Structure 1
Amino acid sequence: MNYSIHFVLLIVCSKCIAVNIKRMDVPALVELGTESVILDCDYSTGETPGPGLVIKWFFNGSTGLVYQWIPPLRPQVIGLLKGKVDMSFKISDEPLQAYRAIKIINPGTHLSGNYTCVVSTFIAEDSQTRSMLVYSPGNSFHFDQEKKYVFLVTLKCVAEYLYPRPVMTILSKGVPLERAVTDMRMDSWGMYSVETTALVHDDDVTSPWEEFVCLLSLPLANYTNNRTTIYYPGLMPTHSASIEVKKPMEHQASNSPPLARCTLLFTLLLSIKIIF
């Protein structure tokens, strides 16, 4: 009978001092350039907080400790997040809740991953994990056409400074061009640059003009963007057209063309003759 009473008392006491994470808020998607993000781990410690309360945050597994708070001490930032956390930020005025959250300043793409919050005492422990992706939509995205030959046009779509790995497609009437070729590169910072080119023959364009679409997407970030260009078959090569446009500009830029000087001199002489 005594054992039963002790067992019941143990269950009741464990509920009084149980640790429970009620809510964990980690933004799933963050655009590069965002000033700050807050990772919050809202927990309860029962009616009577147990001794030895510790809040820890891990990045990508149990070996990646990045933040630790042992009330009433000040929080500690470790490893990857050093220099990236606002140490003055408080999520609550409650002494046992004040520094449970992390305010990350200017998060970069390298901070993409899984974040685990662990709340523990000497008696109980609870943990939850959420993922965050810091994505970059790029700082340059353009779609151009270049015609070097009479019946062929080259479509070129370029985007830079992307994260995570992008997908680029050139569409004709909503259908990807089969002859398109894509070149993907990644720099030392893990950022991607992508270029897709396609060669289109005038015979493949059955209307007076056709609109081509370059579709750029970051599947993991649920992000899409596009650029369009309109092609008119039968036009002369672009490099020839550019020369024809520049010639009159060069004449206009000349201060005193020989023909203009002769015309002006003849007019002056004629005026003098009329006067006299």
Structure 2
Amino acid sequence: MVMYDFAVRDEAVGSVSITSATQPASLYTVYFNKPDQIDRFIGPSASSQRSFINPVSDNGNSRLDESINTGSRELEVVSIEGPSVVVNGSASQLVLDCVYHLTEFDKASLVVKWYFNRQPYPVYQWIPHNKPQDFGLLKGRVNLDYVVSEDEYSKHRALAILTPTTELSGEYTCWISSFENEDYKRKDVIVYAPASEVSLSYHKPGADRVVVSCRAGRVFPAPDIAIYRSSPAADRRSVLEGARVDSRHFSELGYFNISIELEAFDFELDAETMFECVLTIPDTEYRVQEKILYLPGLAAVTAPVIQLNLHKIEEA
């Protein structure tokens, strides 16, 4: 049994009990003896409050055919629109648009907040008819004049981050609320820094073996690196196992340096072996590769440095 109080314009007139064994809890038909006095119906929580108009007569009583929401979500975040991957410093602003649906009952008390990495305090807040505010990590880094819609209850719902950089990689939460309801959605955003250089080389510590090295610098977030070998004659490509990877995070500078080194004996290799170094950043389309040809007996060789224009950018 669910107890509801209902109010009238002059005085409180009592309460009504609603029970249903067969109908969903979100839909009831309510009867009142004096509908002309009813101002609004107030359920056990603010999410059940509704206004009633034009009651209909039924067997001498007045019936209000109104769906009373006791649990369904009417205020809803539909989606967060915007890129999932951005290159460090490449965009003048990154816009994350919180697309939501709201009812007339939500408008008077609507609040839009954005959170970063599930921290307890918002980095952005907007209440309709007020100027947006930025806080914490995004203080001074949000375009507070950005308007995504001409609708008064949607115009500043989007988070417009000015010149996004790597420290702003993370999870963004759009949280909307009213006296009636609340909802949220989350979106991961990667702001990555391409490697400033990638170099591939080999040297021979002995006449019968070779050490292949690949290095990349100033990349973010933590990349993956691997060395492959292929044979032009056999037309095959395989990853070389047993390589030693060294990844170092310079947190104060906001980037990683990474290297991989592999030793192989000449008898394990083909007469012509192509070594290939591949650098990638997880969850992006960023990929850099460099190749170097190894012929047993040749002196040490260093491949040319790969420049930034060889990376690929994912547009979400």
Q: Structure 1 vs Structure 2: percent identity of aligned residues?
A: 30
CA contact (8 A) 2:106 2:180 kept: no
Task: Please tell me whether residue 19 in structure 1 is matched to residue 75 in structure 2.
Answer: yes
Moved more, 57-66 or 175-184: 175-184
Cα RMSD after superposing both structures: 2.9
SS in 2 for 1:98: coil
Q: Provide the C-alpha distance between the structure 2 equivalents of 1:33 and 1:135, rounded to a whole number of angstroms.
A: 9
Q: Provide the C-alpha distance between the structure 2 equivalents of 1:116 and 1:237, rounded to a whole number of angstroms.
A: 52
Q: Provide the C-alpha distance between the structure 1 equivalents of 2:276 and 2:195, rounded to a whole number of angstroms.
A: 18
Task: Please tell me whether residue 74 in structure 1 is matched to residue 137 in structure 2.
Answer: no
SS in 2 for 1:24: strand
Task: Please tell me whether residue 205 in structure 1 is matched to residue 269 in structure 2.
Answer: yes
Unaligned 5+ residue runs, structure 1? 239-276
Moved more, 171-180 or 77-86: 171-180
1:22, distance to aligned residue in structure 2 (A): 2.8
In structure 2, the residue matched to 1:107 is: 164
SS in 1 for 2:180: coil
Q: Provide the C-alpha distance between the structure 1 equivalents of 2:261 and 2:103, rounded to a whole number of angstroms.
A: 62
Q: Provide the C-alpha distance between the structure 1 equivalents of 2:74 and 2:257, rounded to a whole number of angstroms.
A: 50
Q: Provide the C-alpha distance between the structure 2 equivalents of 1:192 and 1:9, rounded to a whole number of angstroms.
A: 54
In structure 2, the residue matched to 1:29 is: 85
Q: TM-score, normalised by structure 1?
A: 0.75
1:145, distance to aligned residue in structure 2 (A): 2.3
1:120, distance to aligned residue in structure 2 (A): 1.5
Q: Provide the C-alpha distance between the structure 1 equivalents of 2:159 and 2:103, rounded to a whole number of angstroms.
A: 23
1:112, distance to aligned residue in structure 2 (A): 1.8
With over 3 angstroms needed to count, the CA separation of the structure-2 counterparts of 1:147 and 1:37, relative to structure 1, is: same
Moved more, 86-95 or 19-28: 19-28
With over 3 angstroms needed to count, the CA separation of the structure-2 counterparts of 1:151 and 1:120, relative to structure 1, is: same
1:28, distance to aligned residue in structure 2 (A): 2.2
Q: Provide the C-alpha distance between the structure 1 equivalents of 2:101 and 2:242, rounded to a whole number of angstroms.
A: 59
1:14, distance to aligned residue in structure 2 (A): 6.1
SS in 1 for 2:167: helix
With over 3 angstroms needed to count, the CA separation of the structure-2 counterparts of 1:234 and 1:75, relative to structure 1, is: same
1:66, distance to aligned residue in structure 2 (A): 0.4
Q: TM-score, normalised by structure 2?
A: 0.66
In structure 2, the residue matched to 1:137 is: 194
SS in 2 for 1:137: coil
Amino acid at match of 1:64: Y
In structure 2, the residue matched to 1:52 is: 109
1:166, distance to aligned residue in structure 2 (A): 1.8
Amino acid at match of 1:191: Y
Amino acid at match of 2:171: N
In structure 2, the residue matched to 1:195 is: 259
Unaligned 5+ residue runs, structure 2? 1-14, 17-29, 32-40, 51-65, 231-236, 302-316
Query: Which is helix-richer, 1 or 2?
Result: 1
With over 3 angstroms needed to count, the CA separation of the structure-2 counterparts of 1:76 and 1:237, relative to structure 1, is: closer
Q: Deviations over 1:139-160 (max 9, x none)?
A: 1112122346444433210111
SS in 2 for 1:235: coil
Task: Please tell me whether residue 219 in structure 1 is matched to residue 282 in structure 2.
Answer: yes
Q: Provide the C-alpha distance between the structure 2 equivalents of 1:75 and 1:218, rounded to a whole number of angstroms.
A: 34
Runs of 4+, deviation exceeding 4 Å: 6-9, 11-15
Q: Deviations over 1:220-255 (max 9, x none)?
A: 4354331110012222466xxxxxxxxxxxxxxxxx
